[in-house]
Amino acid sequence: MLNRSLLRARVFHRLYGLKVVLDGTLSSYYDRIKEEFMFDPESGEKLEAEIHKELSQEQIEKFLQMVKLDSTGNSKEDSDFIKGLFQEYKGQLGEELPRSRKALLESAENVGLAYLSVLDFLIALGDMASKLELEKERNLPKGLRNRNPYKNIKENPLLDVFRRMAPFSGKKGIKWKKEEDCTRMVFLDALKNDEDFKGYLTQEHPSLDQHRDILLHLISERIFSHQGFNSIFEDRFISWFQDKKIVRNMVRKFTKDLDIQSDENEHTPLSGNWEEDKAFFLELWDHTLEDWPENEKFLAEQAKNWDPERIALADKVLIIMGMAEFVHFPSIPVKVTINEYIELSKKYSTPNSKTFVNGVLDKVSAKWLKSGKIKKSGRGLIDNK
């Protein structure tokens, strides 16, 4: 299931990608400014190439200042060209930010859709056993038919419950009837030659535990490692390899907890409380972006011994996320926030990042607690302490 740590990681990935896109967009505008004010030796003008270079740099600085202030200001000296570029940039930004936020939410909710699609796939695997048996019988003499080697998986009582509950994923999920080649390949590659599966098929009357155990074994050891299976999910879900372990655990839990006598089996939830967790990670996204200019400037002041240009982008995103979390989530202890972003830096940034992230966040939190900018309240927390 998705927990707060995984949700922070998801916000980090999306913010990191957004900053890469925005930085690339700014660079393209710088190039357009340079091109506009480039020296043309055939124009007949008297200005020298070096003056053109200084002029283009001056215009880039003005454009960058507009971006930082989020305004063209009232200066009459600014050219209409630069003002027009800024308005164009603002328009792109206005499209990119809501698009990224929507993609962030979809990436999380797609974990649930992928989970439901896997449950549909397990039904398709059971049905594939029947299909393969029918195909095999057509090629056997009448006296050798009805051997039914796949009887146990075809009649697995847990899959019967799956079928009664199906379809799981609805219109948005993977349509396994259209992906029959994949189902066949997984069955023949991952199941047919598996020793545990072959042993299960030889059982005359498998117990409920044996029926359940074989499904759990196939989920844990065989299906999710199959290349064809992963290719289908990777094409459908852009974050599949990031989410695969979560989805597998959700499917395992559902299968493990399934009561074949009940008509009220409940799906594994996306998180302990999805509405609260969804609000948390969307607010973390919003507050991080809202506070970004101010916090980026404050970060530069706290890291004076570091060249701002040499601070890894991953570290910058993690620290600014932590700064936003300090201020806007009063029920989360400061130490919890710092530890969470240290762990993310270990996983997603450079070997030295954990020390840098820890040092900067510790320094920032001490200053903001003293100034009253950080106010913590809730169980076990006292404001400003």
Predicted local distance difference test score (pLDDT) of residue 70: 78
Are residues 199 and 245 both part of a single domain?
yes
Are residues 137 and 224 both part of a single domain?
yes
pTM of the model: 0.84
Mean pLDDT of 367-376: 94
Predicted local distance difference test score (pLDDT) of residue 130: 84
Give the domain-ending residue among 103, 126, 146. Answer: 103
Predicted local distance difference test score (pLDDT) of residue 68: 80
Q: What is the CATH number of the domain that holds 335?
A: 1.10.940.10
Predicted local distance difference test score (pLDDT) of residue 270: 94
Are residues 63 and 185 both part of a single domain?
no
Answer whether residue 379 is part of any domain: no
Are residues 58 and 73 both part of a single domain?
yes
| pLDDT interval class at 148 (50, 70, 90) | low
Are residues 295 and 220 both part of a single domain?
no
Answer whether residue 378 is part of any domain: no
335 vs 166, which has greater pLDDT?
335
Are residues 31 and 140 both part of a single domain?
no
Predicted local distance difference test score (pLDDT) of residue 47: 53
Answer whether residue 183 is part of any domain: yes
Answer whether residue 266 is part of any domain: no
Per-residue model confidence as pLDDT tens digits over 160-196: 999 999 889 888 999 999 999 999 999 999 998 899 9
Give the domain-ending residue among 63, 85, 103. Answer: 103
Structure token digits, residue 14: 């999306």
Tell me the residue range of the domain where 228 lies.
Answer: 108-257
Counted domains in the chain? 3
Are residues 242 and 121 both part of a single domain?
yes
Are residues 113 and 187 both part of a single domain?
yes
Range of lowest pLDDT (75-89, 94-108, 268-282, 348-362): 75-89
CA distance 262 to 265: 6
Predicted local distance difference test score (pLDDT) of residue 145: 52
Reply yes or no on whether the pLDDT at 385 is more than 50: no
Predicted local distance difference test score (pLDDT) of residue 67: 85
Are residues 55 and 86 both part of a single domain?
yes
Are residues 130 and 249 both part of a single domain?
yes
Give the domain-ending residue among 54, 87, 103. Answer: 103
Per-residue model confidence as pLDDT tens digits over 50-101: 676 788 888 888 888 888 877 776 666 668 888 888 899 999 989 999 999 9
Q: Mean pLDDT over all residues of the chain?
A: 88
